[in-house]
Amino acid sequence: MENIEIKRMTAEDLEGVFEVEKTAFPIPWPISSFEEELRNILATYLIAKQGDKIVGYIGLWFIMDECHITNVAVHADYRKQKIATKLVKEMLKLCKEHFTTYVTLEVRKNNIPAQCLYKKFGFKEEAIRKEYYKNPDNTREDAIIMSLEL
Ligand SMILES: CC(C)(COP(=O)(O)OP(=O)(O)OC[C@H]1O[C@@H](n2cnc3c(N)ncnc32)[C@H](O)[C@@H]1OP(=O)(O)O)[C@@H](O)C(=O)NCCC(=O)NCCS
């Protein structure tokens, strides 16, 4: 996809990020969670913009030499156009700046698109967190912990 800009999330972006979030997850984070992340000194959130429209985001926590991906999401109408790929590439640039040696994340066991995305960048499955995620119908789903050594 052409003309995608990657920028740091600011307070002005919260509504747009929340719009992406609602298209991406069965139980979206409330806007207040993104607001809190702006105050979290460990957190860096990047947004993908096409013109004025926010079409994706990635959330990162940098802790010592580790990076934890809290979330990645692309608006449902803009998927399969390499926007997540751009966000992950930008994350890897930031990892260099932070001297990160290890990147980790949790992903739903049934979320094959996200697992394929991470595997493309060399992430490996490390462990299972049993019943980590809640579903809207109150059932639970396992998380796969994936990691990448840099
Ligand atoms: C996962 C997600 C972020 C991918 O975003 P995207 O911008 O569509 O991804 P890209 O176009 O950059 O695709 C990169 C790679 O991801 C994988 N991928 C993306 N969509 C896929 C799909 N529907 N099925 C299988 N693999 C897929 C492929 O390996 C793809 O590489 P390819 O195009 O060479 O095949 C997007 O589907 C999304 O927002 N899903 C809902 C939220 C979510 O599950 N987030 C992850 C939480 S851990």
Q: Chain-wide mean pLDDT for the chain?
A: 97
CATH number of 4-149: 3.40.630.30
Domain ranges of the chain: 4-149
What pLDDT does 40 receive?
A: 98
Query: C-alpha distances in angstroms, 88 versus 29, 85, 133, 138, 142?
Result: 20, 5, 23, 31, 23
Instruction: Quick: pLDDT tens for 10-37.
Output: 999 999 999 999 999 989 999 999 999 9
Of all residues in the chain, what percent carry a pLDDT higher than 70?
A: 99
What's this model's pTM, rounded to 2 decimal places? 0.97
What string of H, E and C letters represents the secondary structure of 6-29?
Answer: EEECCHHHHHHHHHHHHHHCCCCC
Which atom of ligand 1 is least distant from the CA of 73? 39
Check if 106 is active-site: yes
* Probe target for ligand 1 pocket from 104, 117, 147, with the most ligand atoms within 8 Å of CB: 117
82 C-beta closer than 6 A to ligand 1: yes
Instruction: Quick: pLDDT tens for 48-82.
Output: 999 999 999 999 999 999 999 999 999 999 999 99
Residue 1 confidence class, pLDDT cut points 50, 70, 90 = low
Residue 88 confidence class, pLDDT cut points 50, 70, 90 = very high
146 C-beta closer than 6 A to ligand 1: no
Distance 117 CA to ligand 1 centre (A): 5
What pLDDT does 99 receive?
A: 97
Which of 118, 125, 132, 149 is an active site residue?
A: 118
Residue 41 confidence class, pLDDT cut points 50, 70, 90 = very high
